């Protein structure tokens, strides 16, 4: 595994915006726009000012797209979800020094509530799609019956 670019100055193993966009299935413009809104920050910059993205950055972009396309959330709502997930991650990371047991419990309950709320949204959407599917299957059956005349 050789370093592909010796001039990156501390950005070894990170992806350029073009490579990151291709991997994440979005445009470079979208990545810059998410950054402008504070949804994501590239893990590094070269001395020339070029953005460098890590694998963790790519996972975050995938999460944004998932919340956008599957749930139809706007970027403002997604910012809220990401904020709460970041908080939950910090709690887990610093579990043993995250204040009193009482404080930890409060944070966990908050995380539980937000996740349960998101779950309800997802479930409603899935049920809607299931009903849609059933309707389409009924239509398909009718068309096939008409073809067998």
Partner DNA sequence: TTGCTCCTCACGTCACGTGAGGTGGC
Give the span between the Cα atoms of 136 and 130, in whole angstroms. Answer: 10
Cβ distance to a copy of itself smaller for residue 50 or 88: 88
Report the residue number, 38 or 99, with the smaller CB distance to DNA.
Answer: 38
Our finding on whether 98 is near a copy of itself (CB under 8 A) is no
Decide whether 5 or 137 has the Cβ nearer to a copy of itself. Answer: 137
Taking the complex as a whole, the smallest distance from the CB of residue 100 to a copy of itself amounts, in Å, to: 13
Which string of DSSP letters, residue by residue, matches 8-42? SSS-TTPBPHHHHHHHHTS-HHHHHHHHHTTS---
When asked if residue 132 is in the footprint of a copy of itself (CB under 8 A), the reply is: yes
Choose, by CB under 8 A, the member of 9, 18, 72, 89 that binds a copy of itself.
72
- Residue 81 near residue 118, CB atoms below 8 Å: yes
């Amino acid at each position: 595994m050789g370093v592909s670019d010796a001039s990156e100055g501390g950005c070894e193993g990170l992806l350029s915006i073009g490579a990151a966009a291709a991997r994440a299935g979005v445009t470079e413009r979208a990545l810059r726009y998410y950054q402008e809104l504070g949804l994501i920050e590239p893990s590094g910059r070269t001395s020339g000012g070029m953005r460098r993205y890590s694998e963790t950055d790519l996972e975050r972009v995938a999460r944004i797209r998932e919340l956008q396309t599957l749930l139809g959330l706007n970027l403002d709502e997604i910012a809220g979800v990401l904020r709460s997930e970041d908080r939950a991650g910090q709690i887990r990371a610093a579990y043993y020094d995250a204040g009193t047991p009482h404080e930890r419990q409060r944070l966990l309950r908050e995380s539980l509530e937000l996740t349960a709320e998101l779950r309800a949204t997802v479930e409603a959407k899935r049920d809607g799609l299931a009903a849609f599917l059933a309707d389409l299957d009924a239509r398909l059956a009718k068309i096939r019956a008409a073809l067998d005349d």
